[in-house]
Structure 1
């Protein structure tokens, strides 16, 4: 049996604003489904072979995302997903030009990768990593 990453799902309150945010990272909208009664919209955004699945419910409920990254990591369940880049410093500068400000400085993680985080319009953490490890 062989498995490959396929998608991560997020529930959001403002789907259009969230789509525009992720398009700045190179995601493209590939699927949009809308319930007849407008109670739900599902959008698939694709980046290479990875899909970000967005759900937007008319009666969306607030989640338990903490404002501070370290405190958020203490909760069970989904905490963030990461996008890998070749040059972290260059990407950080380009994102700032697009109005996306990292919430922390570039760090070297305990597992040997360099990283920083941003937040999407819904407050979800998105990690940007430079991983040159050889396994």
Structure 2
């Protein structure tokens, strides 16, 4: 038996809680629960990705995230079935791309992607998975053999 079924949530500490709530709402993740302390101060805000996957935002963060060399979480990846429509949506709601979408470019894994950052500098990759991308092909092989796939790719 596999002990876990899914990722439940990830937690981000925000320097400006409302700015983070507004940013993630623009990405399509609305607030659905707010927990407060006895004195009424916000303790945790939950944003819905799916009914079983949430973003937990905590107020009171200091400093800036986004150091690509630091140990720990490097970035979050959101998938989309239509990257052009998602790029248009982001432009419409005022979320700038840090790495522009190149319609002709695919990553070494066969997927298309672009990047944004949240108000605290957390990097977010937005990816359109190709039907025959490395990840999907490796999952097929894993189901068939129970073994990991190793691929050499130029980076």
- With the shorter chain as reference, the TM-score category is 0.7 to 0.9
Q: Does 1:120 align with 2:118?
A: yes
Cα offset for 1:115?
Answer: 0.8
- Contiguous gaps of at least 5 residues in structure 1: 67-71
2:66 aligned residue: 65
Aligned length: 127
**Offset of 1:64 from its aligned partner?**
4.8
Q: Distance in 2 between matches of 1:38 and 1:119?
A: 30
Quote the residue 2:58 is aligned against.
Answer: 55
Q: Scaled by the length of structure 2, what TM-score is found? A: 0.72
What secondary structure, in the 3-state scheme, does the structure 2 residue paired with 1:121 have? coil
- Aligned residue number for residue 96 of structure 2: 101
- CA gap of 1:105–1:63, structure 2 versus 1, over 3 A, is closer
* Per-residue deviation, 1:52: 0.5
Distance in 2 of aligned mates of 1:38 and 1:126: 31
How big is the shift at 1:44?
0.9
| RMSD (CA atoms) | 1.9
State how far apart, in whole Å, the 1-side matches of 2:72 and 2:37 are: 27
> What do the CA deviations read for 1:3-23 (whole angstroms, capped 9, x no partner)?
212111110011111111111
Give the structure-1-normalised TM-score. Answer: 0.82
Structure 2: gaps (5+ residues): 140-155
| Alpha-carbon contact 2:34-2:42 (below 8 Å) kept | no
